[in-house]
Amino acid sequence: MHHALLRCRHLASCVVLVLLAMSFYSASRAGDAAPSLLPAPGTYKLERIIKAPSGWVIEDSVWKPHRLASYTTQSITLFSFFYGTCRDPLGCPAAWSIFETVHQEIEKDPTLHGRVRLVFLSLDPSVDTPELLVFYRAKSKSAAPWYFLTTWSERFLKSILDGMGLTISFQLDAKGQRTGEILHMLKIYLIDPKGWVREIYTTDYIDPDAALNDIRNLVLEEDKQNGRR
């Protein structure tokens, strides 16, 4: 019963998240660089910033661990952190909106099929369990697979956060107890097939058009390296 209630609350939170995201996102586009201002894919280089860290994650079962590298190599990856009960309109809802747009655009573009994956990793493993994340699992089967991952505990999450250079903290109530709100700077990472982070997008200047432009830039770079053009 408790888990069912938690799942309902989680599901309701997600609906709220997406609605918040869509309203936020349309309001925020005024600050984004127009697509025409961006250099054409294939004409610029994204530098290697950091190597995506190693670590263990779980997707559909606590008994089936996966190396994080299996979700950050072999394809171009758009990666972000989230948590299901996030309310901050500038946080997870914003990332969700960006990912939805990118996801839809990739599905429409056959040249990107099989070349790009999207990954969300939970910041709240105690709530975002594989059972609760099953709601999103259908997205992993699309032409632009979108994976929802979690970890066994904060201990396993910490090394991944360290490696990505992300700092998180927990809102406390008057008694010093966690409220459930996780404070973090929204960052979305673009990772190349070799596991190098090549671009990082942050709050207020997150733009799906820019992300798609960079994805196409990496696709062209990969094709050139592999002699496909």
Residues lying near other proteins in the complex (CB under 8 A) are found at: 24, 27-28, 30-33, 37-39, 43-45, 47-50, 88-90, 154, 158, 161-162, 165-172, 176, 178, 183-187, 189, 197, 199-205, 210, 213
Q: What is the CA radius of gyration of the chain?
A: 17
Q: Give φ, ψ of 46 to 5 degrees.
A: -95, 125
Q: How far is the CB of 32 from other proteins (least distance, A)?
A: 6
CB of 114 to other proteins, least distance (A): 26
Per residue in 174-201, is it b (16+ CB within 10 Å) or e — as a string? eeeeeeebbebebbbbbbbbebbbbbeb
55 contact partners, CB below 8 Å, separation of at least 6: 67, 68, 151, 156, 159, 160, 163
How far is it, in rounded angstroms, from Cα 167 to Cα 221? Answer: 31
CB of 142 to other proteins, least distance (A): 27
- Closer CB to other proteins, residue 11 or residue 172? 172
Residue closer to other proteins, measured from CB, 49 or 143 = 49
**By C-beta, is 24 or 146 nearer to other proteins?**
24
Smallest separation, CB 101 to other proteins (Å): 16
